[in-house]
Amino acid sequence: MLANATTRDRLRVFRSMDSNTGVLAPDPGGAVATVQRASERAFFDFGWLQTHHSFSFADYYDPENLNWGALRVFNDDTVQPGKGFGTHPHRDMEIVTYVLRGELEHRDSMGQHGIVPPGGVQYMSAGTGITHSEFNHSGERDVHFVQMWVLPKRYGERPQYGQHEFTTAQRDGTWLTIASGEGSVTAPIALGQDATLRVARLSGGTLPVELREGRYGFLFVADGTVTANGERLAAGDALRLRGQQRFGVAGNGELVFWDVPPTNVRLDDA
């Protein structure tokens, strides 16, 4: 482990830009596990919004940190009471938002309107194009959520929206599968990409983390402190994985885990 390296330096060890295609791709080699600390993420405070970007997004751009496999965006957002994101467009991206605290209100150009409570998830496949807004439903309390974008398997699909609520008991001490596009995985939210999202709440126990050869994993600690693969991870820390792996994660905290395929997309255009 590169204990004193920046996130940029750490990722450079494992990844390179193909000068012919512009694709950010893994270097040849075996299994990879590297930590991105909470403080190494890009942070912006807009007053109404406090946001951390795990990957290049908006005003933060690092050509060595555009994605991890098909996972393109992982933003950790806190929106103040009554504030939010005004109507804005998306296309050709699979967007999953997981609410950690508070309530998030959504409206879109397909006529969908919903309020997502803590532990709830909203899913949007932007496809050929969609506009939407996201606001803190409360005028008194903030809302904390992670919004994650996955590169689609196919482009130009019909836009879709879905919303699901889950109880704390469903993820207490176990992995709860939220969304997936893998044929062998059952999930309430169907993705178009061969990716799977799982969440869990640990209260002193241990959960297995498994990743197959050729896959990328992103294990994020949303709250609490855990130990995974010999690393102590606190809130906001993430473990980036590549290749066949199996280990336990133990401690107390809220976990988010993506299992995604590699990508050949020109990420500067994504």
| 234: CATH | 2.60.120.10
pLDDT, position 13:
31
Helix ranges restricted to H, the chain: 7-14, 168-171
In a domain, 1, yes or no: no
Which string of b and e fits 218-249 if b means at least 16 CB within 10 Å?
bbbbbebebebbebebeebbbbbbbbebebeb
- Angstrom distance (rounded) from CA 80 to CA 94: 25
Which string of b and e fits 179-213 if b means at least 16 CB within 10 Å?
bbbeeeeebebebbbbbbbbbbbbeeeebebebee
User: Per the structure block, which two tokens stand in for 227?
Assistant: 């130990």
- Parallel, antiparallel, or unpaired for β 42-45 and 121-125? unpaired
Residues of the chain with pLDDT under 50: 1-28, 269-270
In a domain, 2, yes or no: no
Q: Could you give phi then psi for residue 172, rounded to 5 degrees? A: -75, 110
- pTM given for the model: 0.87
Q: Could you give phi then psi for residue 181, rounded to 5 degrees? A: -120, 10
In a domain, 79, yes or no: yes
In a domain, 143, yes or no: yes
- The helix/strand/coil state of 9 is helix
pLDDT, position 113:
76
- Angstrom distance (rounded) from CA 191 to CA 95: 10
- Angstrom distance (rounded) from CA 15 to CA 269: 18
**Which residue range forms the structural domain that includes residue 147?**
7-269
In a domain, 70, yes or no: yes
Q: What total of structural domains would you count in the chain?
A: 1
Whose structure tokens read 């995604």? Answer: 260
pLDDT, position 240:
97
Sheet holding 84-90, edge to edge: 84-90, 130-136, 104-108, 113-116
